[in-house]
Amino acid sequence: MKIYPSLISADILNLRSVIKTLDSHCDGYHIDVMDDHFVSNLTWGPAFVEAIVSETKLPIHMHLMVDNPEKWVGRVGLRDKDFFIFHHEVVSDALKILNNLKDFKHKVGVAINPETPVEDIFSYLDKLDYVLIMSVKPGFSGQKFMPEVLEKVRVLVDHRESKSLNFIVGMDGGIGLSNVKLLADAGVDEVGVASAVFSDGDPVRALGELYETRIHR
């Protein structure tokens, strides 16, 4: 299971330094984009996200917690290793936005909130590279993990195998030392981790403990 530090909890005034420090210790970075409408928080715009992308060769998850993800299509120079992830709950026609994204080289994913049944995305699951399961209410880091979402992982992994699909199963929210191995054992492929990496001031050590716990605890 890969670990992506979520930069929302990093030292925002020193992100270049943070990225240089962590580049050799993690699998990529998770960027939460919030619009103060879909969620009650406001973070970064396209130029800021593109600046982060330009600072690392590692993959980026651009997680759009916004009402109109269509407006972000083509506005950030994502690469073929990066992911454009929008929320199922905010689009009336997922196929339309997926069609708008098909000419870009980056990968595409969808995120679902804790209360959204995973079956709601089955009609277009074959067109996705990534499914991000929210394990907290979207909008703020530091929330408590909601274990009931683990059933969605089982459903997705079983469906992926039965239909011979290739999407990644990711999870975001409340992830730390107490549950990282549980998620790895359940079949989660990648996780975004915020507070558990950045809260104690030594993100390199925190990441090392997460990777170790993922395997052995």
pLDDT tens series, the chain, 217 aa: 999 999 999 999 999 999 999 999 999 999 999 988 888 778 999 999 999 999 999 999 999 999 999 999 999 999 999 999 999 999 989 999 999 999 999 999 999 999 999 999 999 999 999 999 999 988 666 679 999 999 999 999 999 999 999 999 999 999 999 999 999 999 999 999 999 999 988 999 999 999 999 986 5
Tell me if residue 184 falls in helix, strand or coil: helix
Catalytic residues: 32, 172
Contact 67, 37 (CB under 8 A): yes
Among 21, 58, 15, 75, CA closest to 206: 21
Which residues, other chains included, contact 99 with Cβ-Cβ below 8 Å and sequence gap of 6+? none
Domains within the chain, CATH numbers bracketed:
2-216 (3.20.20.70)
Rounded to two decimals, the pTM is 0.94
**Alpha-helical segments (H) within 76-202:** 94-101, 150-162, 180-186, 195-198
**For residue 201, is it left (φ>0), alpha (ψ between -120 and 50) or beta?**
left
